Structures are given as structure tokens and as C-alpha cells.
Amino acid sequence: MSISIYEGLTDMISLLFTLLAPSVAARDTFYPPLNHTTFITNTSLGTYGGIYSAPADQASPTTSDDGYNYCSMPHPRVDTYVLPPPIANGSVSGQLVYLEYLQRHQRRTPYNILPGGENQEYNCNNVQPFLYAAPASQDPSPLHVYAQSYSDPTNPFLAGYVNGSCQYPQLTVGGFLDGYEHGRDLRAVYRDQLQLIPSSPDEDNGNKVWLRSSSSALTQGSAGGVLRGLWPDYRGSLPLHQQASSVDTVDQGFSCSARSDLLSVIESTAEWEEHLSVTASLRTKLATMFDANSSSWTSTFDHFADNFQARLCNGYQLPCSIKDDSLCVTQQQADEVFRAGDWEWNYWWRYNANATRYIQLVEGLFIGEIVRHLEAVAENTSTLVYSHNFVHDGDLGPILGALGIKALRWPGMGSNIAFEIWKTSDSEHYARVLYSGRAIETIHGTLDWVPLSSLVNILKPFVPDDIVSLCESN
């Protein structure tokens, strides 16, 4: 099985409609016409309804329409959550028996600092990343130390870097507060309304709940905020399961030479070259403004988008050149960077001819773990009712691609996928998949109520039979 590449007529009609009427409804902002580079170059599209701003040092405001919000993506909330249609209309009797929840970490400082230096300080004094170890017996108990970053003005390397009190990347206090609200909303839906998530994580000796993260401080810090919102009165400690970073099945932890080889093939196609051609002027201007001439800054829009997103999502301004403060990134330039980033994500995980194999190499093992969880529910052999995975955009992207999402924008901060498994009164298992709070629209239809076996069959082709051999192949 391979991912559908062209839905030619549909895409053409969608593109023409967009060019004529760029104003879109909120949920349509998740599914722009990404299979042509005119999406990048059409300046009238702006952000295609997306939001790229959030207040500094506060939780992101909730919008009633739940459109695409890169800084804090929508998630299941009581006022927007709807039951599956057969349950809602009473044609089927059943209950939610399992939730597999995946989410990206919340907003943060950038990974990528501009090579020519940054014209604004980043301040993180209002968030404390705790760093300590304790014996399992908790005796003696450790002193709760935290990392406090600072800049020494005599450091000769600081001039070409960025002043302030942050690590890069680092969860910001706004990101933590977003996570806390995220957890509170999950509690209101899946605990209070649907009675699935236990009132305490250690209920039934903790056999009902599985918590996992990557080895990144970003995902661990996000987990602390989300889980406090989920269990506000719990005062014990919790295991956040992680695999060893060098063999981790998320965040591209394990080594795989075929992965980079295939990416080179994907990024040498005519379609990829076309997107570089139509953005050549923009890339040249940005590279000149910020001394960003290396291939890591000019071969994709990953670095510029990351830098601009992190600024705007934490209350900062778009950057200006250190050498000439009259040269600043305009909003129109940033919008084009964001549209180009969306195009690239759609191309990597949905549109290119090698997408299925690329997903296998990057995320196939983790998809296999999810499939095994779902199969255990179907076989009534699992004690789990709730599994929560704190991962990265680079994990959500390929999973959304495997599901066959109709169009894939860059999964924003706090992006989430909820695999809900329902059991009917006649003991049949049905599934639905929510992406950022709503049933996902895919090439297989809207996954709002499908037999669990059908969902498993959608995912299984992306689980490699022998990942070791596949990684070693050319």
C-alpha cells in the first residue's frame, strides 16, 4: 500500500477556489491546497487562516472556532468535543474503553539561532527547569535544584549569539501554562465527561495508565504541566517512560543510514527543485540579512520558520539584522516562510512518491507500538485505558502521513492525535481518530467511526517487517 499522491481534479478545484477566495473557515485552515507551489507564492493567502502569535508569559487564549494555531494547537475541550455520530444519535450503544494520545511539546524558545546574531534578548527567569536525581527509596531526598541560565558579558562568543537567560530550545513559561490548560481540558473530557481516565494515575497500581516521552527536556517539561492539569490533586511522583536515546523509536533516536539517503532522493525531485526556485528571492534576502548562507539554512525553510515561530509565539518581534537594524523581516516574508514550511511538511510525509518508505524508516517502529496497543484492546488482553505520549513534530508528521491526512500543515505546538477506541453493547470495537480535537479528514474518509480492524489496516503498511535490514539498504 502506498500513500495517494495526486487527487488531481479535487486539488485543482480546491486551489482555484483558494486563489479566488482566500478567506477560509476555521477548520478548513487545517487542510489547505498544498500540492502545488502556488500555495507558497500566492501572497494573498497570508497565513491561510493560521495563527502565529501568543502572549509572553501567559497561557494562549482559547479561540472558539478552533482553527490552526501554530503556537497552541486546539485539543479536545468540553465546549467543542462531540461524541461519535452513532453514539450521539443513539443508533449504537457503547462506551469509550481506550485512549492512545500523542502530543507535541508546548511552545518554546528556538532551536535555531540566527548565524549573524539575535537583536532581542530571550528571558526565561520566570520558568525553572528542575534537574535532580533521587534514590527509588527517596531516602535521602534530594535538594530540588533547577537550571538557571545566564550570560556572562565577558564571554567573547556572546556577540554572535543571543543574550538572555534561556537555553535553546527551552520550554517557556507560556508553554508550561498552555500544557497545564491542555491537561485540564483533557480531564474535563476524558475523566469528567466520559469517565475513562482514572481519578488518580496510581489507581489499580498504575496498570491503567502509561506515560511516555522522548528523552528531550522539552517533552518532559511539557508532561509536567499537562499531567498537573490532568491530576491537580495528585502529590506523588510518576514514571515518565523513556527509551534510551540512541535506540529510541521516537525523535529519530536510532541510527538509520537509509533514512538520510532517502531524504536526499526526496529533496532532489523536480517538485522539490520547483519549490526552491519559486522561493529563491526570499531565501537570498534572508540569507544576506542574517549571514545565513549555509545549506542548513537555505536548503529547507525549517530553520527560518523555527526561529520566526518561536519569536512570535512567545511575544517577541520578528528579527532585524545585527549589522543594519533597518533591515527587518516583514510579516509578508514571514507568512511566505510559514507557507513554504507547510508545503515542505506535506511533501515529506504525504506528497512525494517515497512517502510510505520514508515513514517506515522514521516512525515505523513507533507506529508498530501503537498498533500493538490497539490490537491488545481488540483482543481484550490490555489493562491499559489511557496511554499518553509526549513527542515531537517529527513524530506527529509521519503518523499523520500514515493515516493519510488530506493535507498536512506543520504540526504546531501542542499538536495532538487522539486514537479513541469504543466498545459497543454487542462487544464490537470501533475507532475514531481526532487531530487537534476534531475527526481527521483523510484519503480514507473522515475517521469518525470505523471498525478498529480498519484503522489497524490503515496503519500496518507503515510498520516495517525488518527495520534493521531496511535501514542498511541503499
List of domains in the chain: 24-107+169-258+341-473 (3.40.50.1240)
pLDDT at 23: 58
Q: Which residues contact 189 (CB under 8 A, 6 or more apart)?
A: 76, 77, 78, 81
Find cell 517506515 and name the residue. 360
Position 18 confidence tier, pLDDT thresholds 50, 70, 90: very low
Find cell 474518509 and name the residue. 445
For residue 374, give Cα distances in angstroms to 386, 419, 432. Answer: 11, 9, 12
Rounded CA-CA distance 380/429 in Å is: 10
For 230-268, the pLDDT digits (tens) are 999 999 999 999 999 999 999 999 999 999 999 999 999
Could you give phi then psi for residue 84, rounded to 5 degrees?
A: -55, 140
For 48-92, the pLDDT digits (tens) are 999 999 999 999 998 878 999 999 999 999 999 999 999 999 999
Position 132 confidence tier, pLDDT thresholds 50, 70, 90: confident
For 415-458, the pLDDT digits (tens) are 999 999 999 999 999 999 999 999 999 999 999 999 999 999 99
Rounded CA-CA distance 410/341 in Å is: 7
Residue 2 is which amino acid? S
For residue 448, give Cα distances in angstroms to 88, 199, 333. Answer: 12, 27, 37
For 277-304, the pLDDT digits (tens) are 999 999 999 999 999 999 999 999 999 9
Mean pLDDT of the chain: 94
Note whether 170 and 124 are within 8 A (CB): yes
For 405-418, the pLDDT digits (tens) are 999 999 999 999 99
